[in-house]
Amino acid sequence: MRRFRSTPLRLAAAIAMAACVSTGVAYAASLGLSSGKLHAWSQTLTKGTCSPSTLFDTYVSQATPNTPIGNAPPTLLVSGAVNAQNYTFVRFDLSGCNIPATGGADNATLTINVTAAGHDKISVFPVLSAWDPATLTWNGLAGVTIGSTASDTQPVNSARVFSFTVTGDVDAAIKAGALWGWEIRDTSGTATTVISSTTNPPSLSINYEK
């Protein structure tokens, strides 16, 4: 009878196959070969949560195209009305979370408190260049880079809290640092949605690993 002979190469393959079918959320496993011997190492993943503070929130108005609304007005407006559109902008201080560039977002949620619903669909788009609420206007939007694809869209049909998934935006920001918040826009109709700014301002929650 032919005997099976274990060799370092076969042993490595067997361990690699076992690693592929093993799952876990608490650690990541890797294999390495040193001095002719195969070793397995594990690296603990640090999990955490963060709710960064709001840096700015404002909106721009097509009705007053050259007038900045300024930071933290009492309410934020989102409207798709013809010749009277309003876009809201929010930005958070991600640096306070202290997540290294090697980390990543497991999930991230942008939450707004709607005080008057417009019964339209509201979308959030990542803002990819700097803006200042003291100078941002409707006509100045041409100088701001905004992502062409919505991060998330929700039907805002009542006065309550709505949440938008923005995990991909935050994960990219952790790794590249190129995120200046979000633009919130009506993408289905002409109604006006009112969002609380001072009492219950927009918030961001992040679950991450590093």
* Residue 75 lies inside a defined structural domain of this protein: yes
Domain span at 155: 48-209
Indicate whether 135 pLDDT > 80.
Answer: yes
CATH number where 129 lies: 2.60.120
40/73 same-domain check? no
16 and 35, same domain (yes or no): yes
What pLDDT digit, counting tens, does each position of 174-201 carry?
998 779 999 999 999 999 999 999 889 9
Round to whole Å and give the CA distance between 84 and 63. 5
Specify whether 25 is located in the same domain as 114: no
Continuous segment of H or E residues that includes residue 185: strand 182-186
Residue 173's Cβ-count burial label (10 Å; 0-12, 13-18, 19+) is buried
Statement to judge: residues 100 and 140 lie in one domain: yes
In this structure, are 38 and 68 located in the same domain?
Answer: no
d(CA 88, CA 65): 14
Residue 21 lies in a domain: yes
Domain count across the chain: 2
Looking at residue 176, its pLDDT comes to 87
Domain shared by 154 and 82, yes or no: yes
Residues 20 and 115 in one domain: no
> What is the per-residue pLDDT for 21?
37
| 53 and 16 housed in the same domain | no
List b or e across 95-106, with b for residues whose CB sees 16 or more CB atoms inside 10 angstroms: eebebeeebbbb
Average pLDDT value for residue range 150-161? 96
- Confidence band of 42 (pLDDT split at 50, 70, 90): low
Same domain, 26 and 77: no
Instruction: Tell me, yes or no, whether 108 lies in a domain.
Output: yes
